[in-house]
Structure 1
Amino acid sequence: MKDWMIDFAEFAREELPAESAERLIGLLRPAIRLSAAEDGEIVVGRLGGLPKLPDDMAWPSLADGCRPMSFLAELDCGELARYEVDIALPGTGTLLFFATTDARQSQVIYVPHGIAVAERPAPDDHATVYAELPLAAVTEPSWPERDHPALVDVFGSLEEAEERVWHHVLDEDTGETFDQQLTLFEDGGRDGPPHQVGGYSDGLQSPIEAVAAHAAGTGWYGDPAFQEEARQWVTLLQVAEDTRAGMIWGDGAWLIWGIRKDHLAARDFSKVHLSVQGH
């Protein structure tokens, strides 16, 4: 068993019946959690600041070209390659994330290693310049939310997963359930906003895999086409609101970029799906 799995596996095996615990552990995916870099830590990317773009690349804007997007984040794929994750990121180069100020439209740009780049000032005041926040990384376990399509593949249905895992009663006297203990386990391991690369995103409404599959026109839960399409999607980046960078989108919203596995393998970032999820 890999190091990043051990704590969660011990927790699940202690709290759940053996069969349910092993099914849940089998669903774990390694995610790269991003946090503000301290002195001496390896910097794997940043929030905010100004983007470094090739000279011949225009600043991303809306389709009409009249309103520029805001630069949100940069990921250094070469540095991220040090960390285990469940998605096939490029081994080198950088990923740049832009979005409109309402975070309803976005563009992701991959700049291969060796391409000359230079810091680019914002074209006008329609593009918000966020405070720069360097990011460090660590691999951590991630597990599916209780409405994730992956649960259907392992438990047969969301209802069966609810019964076997989240609604499993740990204490008959108090009525305490596994779901309550899982929340405590999760909160105890976090420090700062949950920025993340790969793994299961923290969908506040619906998992990015479900949102993207539905947007592709495959229906919803219960439709085999939906289930198959959801399997093709992964989390590329999750950015939570972070006051240190001045990133506040209202109602506690998080931005989650999903991408199909085949598009990621082809280094085609033109068809990512951005989901804005708030409380």
Structure 2
Amino acid sequence: MPTREARLLAVARKTLPPAIAERWISLIRPAVRLRPAGRGDRVVGRLGGCPSVPDDFEWPVWTGEGSLSFVASVDCAKLPRESIDLALPTSGTLLFFYFDDTLGYFDPDHPPRTVGKWDPQSLTAGSRVIHIPAGVPAAEREPPADIEPYDWVPLAASPRLTGPDWSHPAFRAACRDLPKDELSFFDDHANGDAFMAALAATVPSPAHQIGGYAFPIQDAVELDVACAHLGVDGARGDRASPAVCEEARRWVVLAQIDSDDATGMMWGDAGRLHWLIRPADLAAGRFGASSFTWQCG
């Protein structure tokens, strides 16, 4: 059976010209896959259910819209550190919340706003990452009455390797100094389709993970966040402005949570949620500075 690295090398060398393939390979990063825990697996977190929080925990709310749903938790001390190249806390628990407008009991005359890149303010108001330090007494908390919990699934961790997607600004930047005739490969979108289809075959399903590169359904998720933070609506993908690409490269993926039938999580049309953060904010434990986007087909 091919190793994780061999599979990614094969994707690059079969679908990209040699010089571009080697630039892409140089960007490969480790990640932690989160998968349903089986018998004998070490449980590192959970999807859904009720979060364990301190007595004084204030449930996150989008003011004027409603309570955020608890999506996932991860015990930082139990993650395989060799599969993380982020400055994650070495202890404590990370909790991920999202405003899911399909779950609440809302007034039909006043439908809630939907979190999305079309509404930049919603990306921070409608999502949250919270770190509960180790040693703080915590107990499971039922969610507020305006939302229902997702079904609970315990999670185990497996190491995996990830590479940037076709539109990722780091990939494009790594190739910038190549001759024009080689860069013309990027002009044909059929080349990108073939590359992304091959890359998709290496992505486990459901694609829950910590760190690494996201696997987007549309353009690179970093571009979504960059546009939101710059307050621009501009062209996407290979037409993104230099300013958007520069801002996008300042962000890293913290977590990706896929749609998952086992939990009742369905993000639009089988979409994925993505939490991102700047490395300096992550190193300083400023999880309130994280951002968010989601994509679906």
Q: TM-score range by the shorter chain?
A: 0.7 to 0.9
How big is the shift at 1:83? 4.1
8 Å CA contact 2:48–2:71 kept in 1: the answer is yes
**In the alignment, which of 194, 201, 225 is matched to residue 180 of structure 1?**
194
SS of residue in 2 equivalent to 1:152: helix
**1:5 Cα deviation after fit:** 2.6
TM-score (norm 2): 0.80
Q: Secondary structure at the match of 1:7?
A: helix
Moved over 6 A (4+): 157-162
What is the distance in 2 between the residues matched to 1:157 and 1:204?
Answer: 28
Which amino acid counterpart does residue 109 of structure 1 have in structure 2?
Answer: I
Task: Quote the residue 1:173 is aligned against.
Answer: none
CA shift, 1:85, in A, is 2.2
CA distance in 2, matches of 1:161, 1:25: 17
* Residue 210 in structure 1 maps to residue 223 in structure 2: yes
AA of the residue aligned to 1:214? C
Any idea what the Cα deviations from partners look like across 1:194-224, whole Å, max 9, x if unmatched? 1111111112122221111111117555544
1:129-168 aligned within 5 A: 129-156=149-176, 163-164=184-185
**Whole-Å Cα distance in 2 between the matches of residues 192 and 228 of structure 1?**
31
1:16 touches 1:178 (CA, 8 Å); kept in 2?
no
Q: Which moved more, 1:88-97 or 1:202-211?
A: 202-211
Q: Percent identity?
A: 39
TM-superposed deviation, 1:95: 0.5
Report the counterpart of residue 86 of structure 1 in structure 2.
Answer: 85
8 Å CA contact 1:70, 1:100 repeated in 2: yes
Check conservation: 1:4, 1:30, Cα contact below 8 A: no
Question: Which structure 1 segments of 5+ residues have no match?
Answer: 169-175
Distance 1:181 1:106, change over 3 A: closer
1:55 paired residue number:
55
Give 2:23's aligned residue.
Answer: 23
Look up the match of 1:35: 35
Please state how far the C-alpha of 1:118 moved relative to its aligned partner. 0.8
CA–CA distance in structure 1, aligned partners of residues 259 and 26 of structure 2: 30
Return the offset for 1:271: 2.2
Partner in structure 1 of residue 284 of structure 2 = 266
Residues 1:231 and 2:252 aligned together: no
C-alpha offsets along residues 26-58 of structure 1, whole Å, 9 cap, x if unaligned? 121112121111111122211001011111111
Moved more, 82-91 or 261-270: 82-91
1:237–1:160 CA distance, 2 compared to 1 (3 A): farther
d(CA) in 2 for partners of 1:264 and 1:278? 27
Could you list the per-position Cα deviations for residues 15-35 of structure 1 after superposition, in whole angstroms to 9, with x for gaps in the alignment?
654322211101211121211
Task: Tell me which amino acid in the other structure corresponds to 2:50.
Answer: L
Structure 1 equivalent of residue 143 of structure 2: 122
CA contact (8 A) 1:155 1:161 kept: no
Change (3 A) 1:206 1:179: closer
Alignment of 1:248-267 (within 5 A): 248-267=266-285
Matched AA of 1:111: I
Pairs aligned (count) = 267
TM-score, length of structure 1 as denominator length: 0.84
| Stretches of structure 2 lacking an aligned partner (at least 5 in a row) | 102-113, 116-125
Q: What's the Cα RMSD here?
A: 2.9
Helix, strand or coil: the match of 2:67?
Answer: coil
